[in-house]
Amino acid sequence: MRTDDLVALLARGAGTEPMAVPARVWAMAVAGGAVAAVALMALMLGVQADLAGKVSTLAWWGKAGFTLAVALPALALITRMARPGSHVGRLPVALAAPVAALWLAAAIQLAGAPPGERLALVLGKTWASCPVWVTVLSLPLLIAALAALRALAPTRLALSGAGAGLFAGAVGALVYTLHCPELDPAFVAVWYVLGIAIPTGLGAAVGPWILRW
């Protein structure tokens, strides 16, 4: 086929192209994935009994704020990655900042605790299930975000997949805070971060073959 013929073919009847397609794609993916995560949490885990009491504490807001502070730059990262020619810019700094702040809070808490109680602070009561549930709750959004990326045009596939996993993991962690009884920064700094890192790694691993176009 001659290239001129292809150009003519593509242009013929091309019509108008609406402007806000990517915004719509992302809005649907985020809404669908988040609703599915909340439903999954409500069905399989249940909202914790004294959530109302916890919500009034600074520690709960710190935990939820950390997940949001990761989720927002992660969403910015994947929406950029979905457009060819855009750059990550300062987003790595924006993503590292909440993790650094959380680790600092954990270090302060551990430094102030008696040596014999430090391990108990880190492990809490639910360390073994926390990363697993964060990962499980992130899966609907990971799938939705990968599907959204497939409908757009990512050119850095592993990074885009990792970004999708990071965003899904952070929102999964946010949803998990509705169930999770743990409030210590030392706990969150290890197990929430691990729970977010698992879908991030998963996304980075599957990105190069799922996102190819």
Partner 1 sequence: MIGGRPDMVDDEHRLKMLMVAGLGGDEAAYRAVLGALARHLRGFFRRRLASRPADCEDLVQETLLAVHTRRHTFDRSQPLTPWVFAIARYKLVDWLRRHARQDALHDPVDEWRNDLAVEGGQEADTARHDVSELLGTLPAKQREPIRLVKLEGLSVVEAAERTGLSVSAVKVGIHRGLKKLAAQFRP
- Point out which residues bind partner 1 (CB under 8 A): 1-19, 21-22, 82-86, 152-153, 155, 212-213
Backbone angles phi, psi at 80, to 5 degrees: -70, -45
Whether the CB-CB separation of 98 and 70 falls below 8 Å is answered with yes
**Residues 6+ away with beta carbon under 8 Å from 128:** none
Least distance CB 11 / partner 1 (angstroms): 4
Nearer to partner 1, 17 or 50 (CB): 17
Q: In b/e form, how buried is each residue of 125-154, taking b as 16+ CB within 10 angstroms?
A: eeeebbbebbbbbbbbbbbbbbbbbbebeb
Least distance CB 93 / partner 1 (angstroms): 22
Least distance CB 12 / partner 1 (angstroms): 5
Nearer to partner 1, 5 or 50 (CB): 5
Least distance CB 211 / partner 1 (angstroms): 11
Nearer to partner 1, 16 or 56 (CB): 16
Distances, alpha carbon 65 to alpha carbons 148, 174, 196, 198, in Å: 25, 8, 14, 20
Whether the CB-CB separation of 166 and 102 falls below 8 Å is answered with no
Nearer to partner 1, 83 or 125 (CB): 83
In angstroms, how far is CA 165 from the centroid of its own chain?
A: 6
Least distance CB 202 / partner 1 (angstroms): 22
Least distance CB 147 / partner 1 (angstroms): 14
Nearer to partner 1, 2 or 90 (CB): 2
Nearer to partner 1, 163 or 199 (CB): 163
